[in-house]
Chain A
Amino acid sequence: MKDLTKPEETVLLAILRLKDEAYGVTIKNQVKKVTNREYLYSTLYTTLEQLVKKGYISKRFGDPSPERGGKRKIFFNLTEDGVIALENAFFKQKSVWAGITEKTFRNGLLNEG
């Protein structure tokens, strides 16, 4: 299984946290809250499309609302494959970053052996 790209990972995590409330606007705000990066809708939706194609998330339609000009929301949920992908990513990350703590950076890497 291929690794998740950074945007894919970020978006999947956001959807994980948002549970059933994950749609365009909320995902964008969540990402901003956590990483302090404001995604453009174009990047967001490209990533979302990739994730749908890979089968990591599924989409369902919500209700239309006047603020959206009468358009429906599209909600995203993690699929089983999506959860597995995140899990893999988590463990891979863990093994790659194993043993590195805040102290590593505070003491200065140059002093380590």
Chain B
Amino acid sequence: MYVYSLGEGYSGDLEEEYFNIRNSEGRWKADLWIWRQLLKSIPSFLQSYLQWSFRMFNNYLKIAFRNIKRHKGYSFINISGLAIGMACTILIVLWIQDELSFDQFHENGDNLYFVATNRLYSGTWDIGSGTPPAFGPALKREYPEVLNTARLRGTYLAVVKYGEKMYVEEIQAGDFSLLQMFTFPLVKGDLALALSNPYSIILTEKMAEKYFDKEEPLGNVLSIENEIDLTVAGVLKNMPHNSMIGFDFLIPIELLEKLYNNPKLTRTWTNLSFQTFAQLRENISPTVVNEKIENRIIEGNGNIEQVKPFLRKYTKIYLFGLTGYEGQIGLILLFFIIAGIILLIACFNYMNLATARSANRTKEVGMRKIVGASIKDVMKQFFSESILMSFISFIFAVVLVLWLLPAFNTLTNKQLTLDISNGMWPIIGGAIGLVILTGIVAGSYPSFFLSTFRPIKILQGTLSAGSKASLFRKILVVMQFTASVVLIICTAVVYKQFKFVLYKDLGFEKEQIVYIPIKGALNQKYNTVKQELLADPGILNITATHNPITNVGWNDHNWNWEGRDPYTDPLITYMFIDGDFIETFDIEMTKGHFFSKKFAFPVSENSNSVVVNEAFMRMMQTDTPVGQLISHEDDNYRIMGVVKDFHFKPLYTHIEPLILFVSPENFRYLYIKIRPDNIHETIERIETVYKKFNPAFPFQYHFLDEDFARLYRDNQRIGTILKYFAFLAIFISCLGLLGLASFMAEQRTKEIGIRRVLGSSEMAIFVLLIKEFIKWVIIANIIACPIAFLAINGYLQNYAYRTNIGLNIFILTGLLSVIIALATVSFQAIKAGHANPVDALKYE
């Protein structure tokens, strides 16, 4: 500042004049004067300051450009490292932005709540998301704080038909008040009208186009499941992707009674398969309402089950889950951290290279200091260089992002774009922020390091690179490799777990099994269809169940057996099957026997026998369950046999007790075991039979093992993402290693030359140079192991069934990292060893 030396005079003058004016014209005028003085002086102050800064800045830029051109190799390494780091950050920020935007578009967002429950299940309280259907209307009727409620029931796969067009669609059933509460606008139709007609259906624009083409959808009739005809009462704008609830088709919830043939379905207090949403009036706090409604469900269900509802803010659920501790926020934080780590690694590279090469710049720094540059000036210079580098990398990063965006979208199942439509300023601001942040972080160490050189020492030639500096450099490289190794280990484990889960013995045979949902007429004609199919040479066996064997969901309380602990009333899962069940799936019986072949073709009376699994037997705490009685409500059943435990739920949960019944009315899925050859023809034949008996419904088949893989698709995705991150981390670390290696080789040319002259072989030189790097990599591995171990444990907690984490993984990763490091530096090392010592020592 140019008024530093005159500062005392300046401020003194101000005070003196202020004093004078105050005395002559009064306090008010004096204060006014002072303000005018200060405000007016800002422009000229800035001008003089900026003028000089601008001049210096030009010089810094010029030198920076020259440096970049002169050392193209190093510059390339720096720029690519930074560009990759920045590209990652940008992609992840885009992803995070999208995730954060979920559900934020609802107008009533402040007052929308989801009803979650606290349930007493087998002695412990658990959080659930299901409420009884009677609760919604009761909420609205009985509590003035509640403005509106809506119920929603999960996806129902149904056949939708219009004229010639017939497809299986996912239909959701709910109260149309959903559309009043949530911002899902209708582009056609009137909500009030839709509300008044119990036989109406609302669909999205996409679906309207699918079925009606250019025709006017309103007023047309769609046939659902060949059972009910519904009039199109409204067309919704297509669902945004960032919404937790969404539907292609919405039908009034009461219609479920017809579809399930259960006239009281939407009025009971005991069925917990519905979701309830509530909109409170303005400024009503949910805690007040929570207190009031806490016991309402228990009241309603006559104290059969302990279910306590509470309100959870809808806009928070996607990120924070029902409890506030789950939800996507964990993943978001994780990715944010990973992006930060990768960017840091890239910055470390820059730091390392810049300080390592500082030996080449010492003379320049010395000269600058001598002609009057202060430490701050030198720092400014190096920061300008790093920011310039950062800016250039940013441009490459943007190109990278544009190129990778489609692949990234497939990977994460989103539609992210780098679009400007939401306003240029936040994007430009973000971009500038990123460039400057990276520049400052990357340039921080070199700036501080280089600016503190003593000019005299430099010009005298006595300044060495300093051992403190090389220690720091070593630490940086070790940290880079540690991060990389951790990422690699985590990726390996995620993949291992995925494979484990995929190939684990589930207790039943899932290969070669095709399944078909049972719809329409197929239910009644089960026996006939089965007989005809069994006659087919390509088909080995057939059975049927009511829930998919991979996820059996029906359960109930109130089971009684001898010796049951009267203080617990566990929720036990049950399954309906037919006599061919264990043969089709190759499940073993451990005690007693299965349902006889008589029940391969079920007769209409219920058998009084059941089969239980080993877990059930353990729960009964007996070794001889066969012959014992179980009762449920009014019915008694005799245990006929015990089946070996098999996984009827995803591997996240332990195998629970299970009861197997025969009950043909409840068959929903037909499982066909087919021969492994000529699969295609077999399926075609199955289709013919199906069409013969059930022409009104489209033929749909699935392979059980494919389904299975799909269940764990999320894990696969996480694994793939981790894989890419690990690769990136290692790549950038290697870039750094490469730069460092070349530099060190360069620095030590004289030393190497002398060693060669004194008789050292090329190999010895090679080993000499390699030794250093290998040491670092090994240290990195040692540090990485405990970190990785913690991370892995955390991840595997999610699974009740885990793969082994042997020592193998750590050792293999260690070897891998050493090999990679070796590969990176050996080229430089070989070159150094190979060099002609004469060239090195020519100038001595």
Question: Which residues of chain A have a CB within 8 Å of any CB of chain B?
Answer: 23-25, 28, 40-43, 45-46, 48-50, 52, 59, 65, 67-69, 71-74
Contact = CB atoms under 8 A, between A and B. Distances in A.
7 contacts: A41-B41, A42-B41, A45-B6, A46-B3, A67-B20, A69-B11, A73-B13
B12 A24 contact: yes
A67 B9 contact: no
B777 to A, nearest CB: 57
Contact of A67 (B16, B41, B45): B16
Given A25-B13, A28-B17, 4 more contacts: A42-B44, A67-B20, A68-B13, A72-B9
Closest 6 pairs between A and B when the two form their complex, measured CB to CB: A42-B41, A24-B13, A74-B9, A71-B12, A68-B12, A67-B19
A59 B5 CA distance: 10
Given A46-B2, A46-B48, A72 B12 contact: yes
Nearest to B8: A71
B44 A46 contact: yes
Given A24-B9, A71-B11, A45 B17 contact: no
B373 interface: no
Nearest to B7: A45
A78 B6 CA distance: 16
Contact of B3 (A23, A28, A49): A49
Interface residues of B, number: 22
Nearest to B40: A40
Interface in B1-57: 2-3, 5-6, 8-17, 19-20, 37, 40-41, 44-45, 48
Nearest to A69: B15
A73 B9 contact: yes
Given A68-B12, A74-B9, A40 B17 contact: no
Nearest to B23: A67
B672 to A, nearest CB: 91
Nearest to B14: A41
B9 A23 contact: yes
A28 B2 CA distance: 19
A46 B52 CA distance: 14
A15 to B, nearest CB: 13
A73 B40 CA distance: 23
B25 to A, nearest CB: 15
A23 B15 CA distance: 13
A41 B13 contact: yes
Contacts of B15: 67-69, 71
A45 B3 contact: yes
Nearest to A76: B9
Nearest to A68: B12
A45 B12 contact: no
Contacts of B10: 24, 41, 45
Contact of B6 (A28, A43, A48, A65): A48
B6 A59 contact: yes
Nearest to A50: B2
Given A40-B41, A42-B44, A71-B11, A25 B3 contact: no
B153 to A, nearest CB: 73
Nearest to A42: B41
Contacts of B6: 45, 48-49, 52, 59, 74
B19 to A, nearest CB: 4
Interface string B542-567: 00000000000000000000000000
A87 B11 CA distance: 32
Given A40-B41, A42-B44, A46-B48, A23 B2 contact: no
B22 to A, nearest CB: 10
A49 B2 contact: yes
Given A49-B3, A71-B8, A74-B8, A42 B45 contact: yes
Contact of B12 (A28, A50, A59, A69): A69
A97 B40 CA distance: 34
A71 B11 CA distance: 8
A6 to B, nearest CB: 14
A23 to B, nearest CB: 7
Contacts of A40: 37, 40-41, 44
A52 B9 CA distance: 14
A74 to B, nearest CB: 3
A68 to B, nearest CB: 4
A49 B41 CA distance: 15
Contacts of A43: 41, 44
B831 to A, nearest CB: 54
Contacts of A72: 8-9, 12
A45 B19 CA distance: 20
A72 B5 CA distance: 13
B417 to A, nearest CB: 49
A45 B37 CA distance: 13
A68 B8 CA distance: 10
Nearest to B19: A67
A92 B531 CA distance: 122
Chain B CB within 10 A, most for which of A28, A45, A74: A45
Contacts of B45: 42
Contacts of B12: 24, 68-69, 71-74
A105 to B, nearest CB: 32
Contacts of B14: 41
Contact of A41 (B19, B20, B37, B48): B37
A93 B10 CA distance: 31
B826 to A, nearest CB: 59
B476 to A, nearest CB: 44
Chain A CB within 10 A, most for which of B9, B14, B19: B9
Interface in B573-587: none
Contacts of B37: 40-42
A24 B11 CA distance: 10
Contacts of B11: 69, 71
A68 B37 CA distance: 17
Chain B CB within 10 A, most for which of A65, A73, A74: A74
A47 to B, nearest CB: 10
Contacts of B20: 25, 67
Contacts of A24: 9-10, 12-13, 16
B41 A25 contact: no
Nearest to A74: B9
Contacts of B41: 40-43
Contacts of A23: 9, 13
A18 to B, nearest CB: 14
Contact of A49 (B5, B8, B16): B5
A33 B12 CA distance: 21
A72 B10 CA distance: 10
Nearest to B18: A67
B9 to A, nearest CB: 3
B316 to A, nearest CB: 53
A71 B2 CA distance: 19
A69 B11 CA distance: 9
A1 to B, nearest CB: 22
A71 B385 CA distance: 42
Contacts of B48: 46
Contacts of A48: 6
Contacts of B8: 71-72, 74
A25 B13 CA distance: 6
Chain A CB within 10 A, most for which of B5, B20, B40: B5
A32 to B, nearest CB: 12
B9 A45 contact: yes
B440 to A, nearest CB: 31
A52 B4 CA distance: 13
A59 B13 CA distance: 15
Chain A CB within 10 A, most for which of B12, B14, B15, B20: B12
